[in-house]
Amino acid sequence: MVADEDLWRYFAPDYVTARQRFLDASEKVNVEPTTLTLSVRGPSEENLSIDVVYLGPEKPNRLIIHTSGVHGVEGFPGSAVQVRLLERWAAGELKVPDDTGLIIAHAINPYGFAWLRRVNENNADLNRNFLPPGEEYVGEPEKYHELDDLLNPRTYNKPFDFFRIKSAFVILKMGFNVAKQTIAEGQYERPKALQFGGSELYEGPRKWVGYLEKILPSVDRVVWIDFHTGLGPFGVDSLLISGDDSEEELSRLKSHYGDTVQPNDPDAGVAYRIRGGMMNGVSSGWPEIDWTMITQEFGTVKPLQVIKSLRAENRMTHWSAIEERKKANSKERKHLVEVFSPSSDKWRSMIMFRGQELVDQAIDDLGKLSPEV
Ligand SMILES: [Zn+2]
């Protein structure tokens, strides 16, 4: 358990500090992290990188993967959980069997983390950027064009906006689940609009996939936890299952991980189906591996508030005259951070507790399905 007065040590004020704490913690476990540096820079000209710590044997049979910051700003709490994981490893409180490896990958989208955006340097949502082989970077949800004007206004300063009223009408007309699905699925046609999935697999994702390709050949079974925030009740995590979400598999997962396990079905819970999800994209290249893929999604504020904040931030980014570096200091970006990483001790300690517990459960799950442990 992390005491309230210690939370500040884990929740960093910016990307550079978060990264430094992660590197310091990896020193305590005597591991040299692999640094995958991007060609873009942060707002203070700092280097931006995905930093990966690997703990375990050279050729693991089984693997736990923990990823954070796929959505930039969600890296604040994700990094906090990962620094704590490394501390627990150093203290001998976190252990895996001899044939199991643990990958902790810090800030899959370091650009968004540093610039306080959810998307990357191409305005792309990286959890829509990993289309499986053969799928083209084109298309959008059937009704996206009906929402385009509402979600993506093409001016910055307008005295009256009425977003809430207009969105209430849309939700009434379209139905909440259809609207949710349409907004969240991912689109590949409008590069300045919300939920853009990109026009190719971008640099960060390419380097991350390249890293995984070196370690996956010996692996039979993976449990992958991808840490996110911004969906569901305040401080409570939903476990959204990618890949095999058959009744049988879901009931097995529920009995092990608890009742917050949900399929990625827009009518069944808080979730929605997406295109180009990271875990689906990676796993589709390795069909011989048995994958359990869990998106751990911690709730913050209500869905409409989340969309409103994303919309305002995207609008400021593309349609204001604010100088690039000053955008990182804008009220819209600061608000976005608060929406995805609330500065509440209560929220933070809930995240720290469940963030650790799920990794313990994953290690246990991986062990159960293997006879030699
Ligand atoms: Zn997310």
In angstroms, what is the span from residue 305 Cα to ligand 1's centroid?
A: 15
Residue 113 dihedral angles phi and psi, to the nearest 5° = -65, -50
In angstroms, what is the span from residue 373 Cα to ligand 1's centroid?
A: 34
pTM listed for this prediction: 0.95
What pLDDT is stored for residue 75 in this prediction? 98
What pLDDT is stored for residue 118 in this prediction? 98
In angstroms, what is the span from residue 29 Cα to ligand 1's centroid?
A: 28
In angstroms, what is the span from residue 275 Cα to ligand 1's centroid?
A: 14
In angstroms, what is the span from residue 328 Cα to ligand 1's centroid?
A: 19
Q: How far is CA 80 from CA 51, 355, 358, in A?
A: 14, 9, 14
Burial of 326 (0-12, 13-18, 19+ CB in 10 A): exposed
In angstroms, what is the span from residue 196 Cα to ligand 1's centroid?
A: 14
In angstroms, what is the span from residue 269 Cα to ligand 1's centroid?
A: 16
In angstroms, what is the span from residue 143 Cα to ligand 1's centroid?
A: 23
Residues of the chain with pLDDT under 50: 371-373
Burial of 315 (0-12, 13-18, 19+ CB in 10 A): buried
In angstroms, what is the span from residue 296 Cα to ligand 1's centroid?
A: 9
In angstroms, what is the span from residue 367 Cα to ligand 1's centroid?
A: 28
In angstroms, what is the span from residue 110 Cα to ligand 1's centroid?
A: 14
In angstroms, what is the span from residue 125 Cα to ligand 1's centroid?
A: 9
What pLDDT is stored for residue 370 in this prediction? 55
In angstroms, what is the span from residue 78 Cα to ligand 1's centroid?
A: 10
Q: Helix, strand, coil shares of the chain as percentages rounded to 5?
A: 45, 15, 40
What pLDDT is stored for residue 271 in this prediction? 67
- pLDDT tens digits for range 271-317: 677 899 999 999 999 999 999 999 999 999 998 899 999 999 999 99
In angstroms, what is the span from residue 234 Cα to ligand 1's centroid?
A: 15
Amino acid at 268: A
What pLDDT is stored for residue 135 in this prediction? 92
Local structure of 329: helix, strand or coil: coil
What pLDDT is stored for residue 169 in this prediction? 79
In angstroms, what is the span from residue 58 Cα to ligand 1's centroid?
A: 31
In angstroms, what is the span from residue 317 Cα to ligand 1's centroid?
A: 19
Domains within the chain, CATH numbers bracketed: 4-133+199-299+342-367 (3.40.630.10)
What pLDDT is stored for residue 373 in this prediction? 41
In angstroms, what is the span from residue 270 Cα to ligand 1's centroid?
A: 13
In angstroms, what is the span from residue 126 Cα to ligand 1's centroid?
A: 9
In angstroms, what is the span from residue 73 Cα to ligand 1's centroid?
A: 9
* 294 CA to centre of own chain: 11
Residue 242: name the closest of 206, 277, 199 by CA: 277
In angstroms, what is the span from residue 340 Cα to ligand 1's centroid?
A: 8
In angstroms, what is the span from residue 204 Cα to ligand 1's centroid?
A: 16
What pLDDT is stored for residue 184 in this prediction? 87
d(CA 315, CA 333): 11
